Chains A and B, each alone.
Chain A
Amino acid sequence: MWGLTKAYEGRTVVDQVGFELQPGTVTAFLGPNGAGKSTTLRMITGLTRPDRGQATIAGRPFSAWPNPSHVAGVLLDAAAVHPGRSGRGHLRMAATLAGVPGRRADEVLEMLGLADAATRKIGKYSLGMRQRLGIAHALLTNPPLLVLDEPINGLDPEGIRAVRNLLRGHAARGGTVLLSSHVLSEVDQTADRVLVIGNGRVVADGPLASLTTSSRSLVRAKDMNRLAEALQRGGIAIQPAPDGFIAAHAPVEQVSSVTFAAGIPLLGLREEQMSLEDLFFRLTGGGRV
């Protein structure tokens, strides 16, 4: 997709958003509330018409595929189900529409742990159960791409682990997953790649490891005063860091050279890794609560 732009009442909520997804990967779409995540996902799936730009899946816009549920399984809003219908009834209707056998509805209900609640009214489902029903709906046709908006919202730890395994399994079989989430620790464990969106624009896009790698090094020695002096003499700015380390504003190689030349035996030297949370807040301009 490229250049996706959408404005509501003169306010641009998605601004020139573009990215490509690769098979076999899980991509997390991160951003604070109102950043434009859901609008972007709705534009990808044809529910909202972009003002500019286009999103294609396997070469065509989602809604240009005659039977798009075989291209992408989508969960945008777990609450978007009729509360008077049963889980099985809801999925069987979708199966009929998509042209897959009705028994597939029971298979995905079983897969998501909803077999016992299959005949219960959806109105009686908990938020987590509705979430699992939405994921079951997305998996109905076993599509190559899954687009899931906040899929683990409301799930208990066991449910989160099950969904994480399911998504990783989908990617391992060559599928593609795009999920949005606020639960940063969950994304940390699931995604290969992170897209960060803030104020409607993609502000970071890359593999998780490279995004969270900082340009600073963490270094520790027996004689911390000597270490600090040596680093400053070498022109490296320093700051105190947790756990008795000094944060040196230089790559590991440079810090190593300076300390070796000064004859300081080191107890530890490594690249600083930013937590995903730090990265998220730094890029989106948010603050910790």
Chain B
Amino acid sequence: MTIGHPPAHPAVQAPLVNVPWAVRASRASSFWRLVAVEARKLVGSRSDKIVMAFAPLFLIGVMLLFTLPQSNLASAGRQLQPMLVVVQLGLLLVFATVIKLVAGEWQYKSVQPTLLVQPSRMRYLVAQATVLLGVWLVCTLFTFVLYPVLIEMAADGINHDYLLGHRQGWVLGVTMLSTALVLLTALIVSLLIPNTGGSLTVFFIVVPLLALARMLLPEVFGLIYPLEAAWHLAGGGTGWVQTISSLVVWLTLLGVSLVVLSRRDAG
């Protein structure tokens, strides 16, 4: 028995390796198992499932809204640029689920049981990033397949030639970049604001406000508008300065959010 303060000296014990539980504990779970769990969390609650089920319908609706009423599709740029609005608005439901996944884990501290089963934060983050990569690929593919069909219909409707058919690499590049940039913005916001409500508010208010502000004052707000690089690639950019500045700002924010994540208290 000890009353008072115990001596502060290291106990010497070799790690146990041969007992069955030690054997199991010495084998890390496969990375893909972690990815599978994070993917399952994406549709982990009933509201997540409902939102994800409606996401394609919402995207199609927004695509119809921003393609069919177009009255001037005389250039390839004019045919492609509505897609940037479609990506930003049409994928909102998907981004909402992503934000709920990333920010919700910290808000409800449900990250704690995950880290107690697999303690590496970097592995956890890479698994989430892999899930987001999958989301990005699906969103990109869906948009890349569907958007040209609708914009071609819109061009036919006003007797304009469809000009994107021979520029599929360009269309794919803009689709990939714009989807990636919006998804990255959602990720950064949800990493920096570990609260679902706060993250969703910032993402749904600040980002569209930035888009509006960029329309009014492109030279100024293009500097921090997250999709500036995609607009540049689509032929509607403000200039190289704005494109580079925007990329630097958002990549810096990504770096900051990763540092914040690595130091955040999970308890």
The answer, among A56, A68, A98, for a CB contact under 8 Å with B13, is: A56
A42: which B residues are within 8 A, CB to CB?
267
B267: which A residues are within 8 A, CB to CB?
38, 42, 47-48, 76-77
B48: which A residues are within 8 A, CB to CB?
84
Question: Does residue A18 face the partner (Cβ distance < 8 Å to B)?
Answer: yes
Are B13 and A59 in touch, CB under 8 angstroms? yes
**Chain B 5-19 against A: per-residue CB contact (8 Å), 1 yes, 0 no?**
111111101111000
Are A3 and B116 in touch, CB under 8 angstroms? no
Are A99 and B27 in touch, CB under 8 angstroms? yes
A210: which B residues are within 8 A, CB to CB?
1
Are B109 and A20 in touch, CB under 8 angstroms? no
Name the segment of B29-37, B70-78, B173-181, B220-228 touching the other chain: B29-37
B118: which A residues are within 8 A, CB to CB?
67-68, 97
B240 to chain A, nearest CB (A): 43
Name the residue among B3, B114, B117 with the largest chain A CB count within 10 angstroms: B117
Knowing A93-B41, A97-B37, the reply to whether A80 touches B8 (Cβ < 8 A) is no
Complex Cα spacing A43 to B47, Å: 35
Knowing A19-B6, A96-B33, A203-B5, the reply to whether A60 touches B15 (Cβ < 8 A) is yes
Are A201 and B5 in touch, CB under 8 angstroms? yes
Knowing A68-B25, A80-B108, A80-B112, the reply to whether A59 touches B14 (Cβ < 8 A) is yes
Are B110 and A81 in touch, CB under 8 angstroms? yes
Question: Does residue A238 face the partner (Cβ distance < 8 Å to B)?
Answer: no
**Chain A 193-206 against B: per-residue CB contact (8 Å), 1 yes, 0 no?**
00000000111111
B248 to chain A, nearest CB (A): 31
Are A62 and B265 in touch, CB under 8 angstroms? no
B126 to chain A, nearest CB (A): 14
A68: which B residues are within 8 A, CB to CB?
25, 116-119
List which A20-78 residues lie within 8 A (CB) of chain B: 20, 38, 42, 45-48, 53-54, 56, 58-60, 62-63, 65-71, 74, 76-77
Knowing A58-B22, A65-B26, the reply to whether A97 touches B6 (Cβ < 8 A) is no
A2: which B residues are within 8 A, CB to CB?
8-11
Q: Chain A: how many interface residues by the 8 Å CB criterion?
A: 60
Question: Does residue A233 face the partner (Cβ distance < 8 Å to B)?
Answer: no
B112: which A residues are within 8 A, CB to CB?
47, 76-77, 80
A87 to chain B, nearest CB (A): 12
Are A94 and B21 in touch, CB under 8 angstroms? no
Complex Cα spacing A42 to B111, Å: 14
Knowing A80-B113, A84-B45, the reply to whether A71 touches B108 (Cβ < 8 A) is no
Are B4 and A47 in touch, CB under 8 angstroms? no
Knowing A53-B8, A67-B27, the reply to whether A83 touches B109 (Cβ < 8 A) is no
What 3 pairs across the A-B complex have the smallest Cβ distances? A84-B45, A206-B1, A59-B15
26 of the cross-chain contacts (CB-CB < 8 Å) are: A2-B8, A3-B9, A47-B266, A59-B14, A59-B15, A66-B26, A66-B27, A67-B117, A68-B25, A68-B116, A68-B117, A68-B118, A79-B109, A82-B41, A84-B46, A85-B41, A96-B33, A97-B34, A97-B114, A97-B117, A97-B118, A99-B27, A99-B29, A202-B5, A203-B5, A205-B6
